[in-house]
Amino acid sequence: MKMFQYKTTKRDEMIDITQDIQAWIKKEGYRDGIITLFNMHTTAGLTVNENADPDVKTDFIRRLDEIYPWDHPEDRHGEGNTAAHVKSSTVGTSETVLVEDGKLVLGTWQGVYYCEFDGPRPNRKVHARFDGK
């Protein structure tokens, strides 16, 4: 098992973590199997999405803000970050990605993203586990 740590700099942002995961696979000599990624926070998520056009990240965050506004007048959660909790549950807290011949099996334009919804935060954690050979 491996723990990745990220420092986020904005309230909402998407950080491409694909290369971090791929480097770990290479370092450990993993060949074929699956990587399970789990985000350790209730106000952040993980997703596989396009990594070619940076506007996709901008649009993704904007659309989530439209659906789950930060300052909804009827939110009751005392910390004031209900939108972040709902975004996290919508996006999800885990991803599973295949590994073949030592490489993540992703489509041409796909990458793995850590999605911050309640930043900035100094120490966000993603646990990764490889199962295979």
5-37 pLDDT, tens digit each:
999 999 999 999 999 999 999 999 999 999 999
Q: How confident is the model at residue 117 (pLDDT cuts 50, 70, 90)?
A: very high
55-111 pLDDT, tens digit each:
999 999 999 999 999 887 776 786 778 999 999 999 999 999 999 999 999 999 999
Are 43 and 124 a contacting pair, CB within 8 Å? no
For 2-132, CATH number out of 3.60.20.30, 2.60.120.460, 3.30.1360.200, 1.10.3720.10 equals 2.60.120.460
What is the pTM (predicted TM-score) of this model?
0.94
> Angle formed by the axes of helices 82-91 and 55-67, to 10°?
120
CA distance 7 to 40: 14
pLDDT at 77: 80
CA distance 22 to 35: 10
| Residue 113 CB coordination number (10 Å) | 24
Give the angle subtended at the CA of 6 by the CAs of 22 and 57, to the nearest 5°: 75
pLDDT at 78: 66
Tokens at 93, concatenated: 């807290």
CA distance 22 to 110: 13
| pLDDT exceeds 70 at position 131 | yes
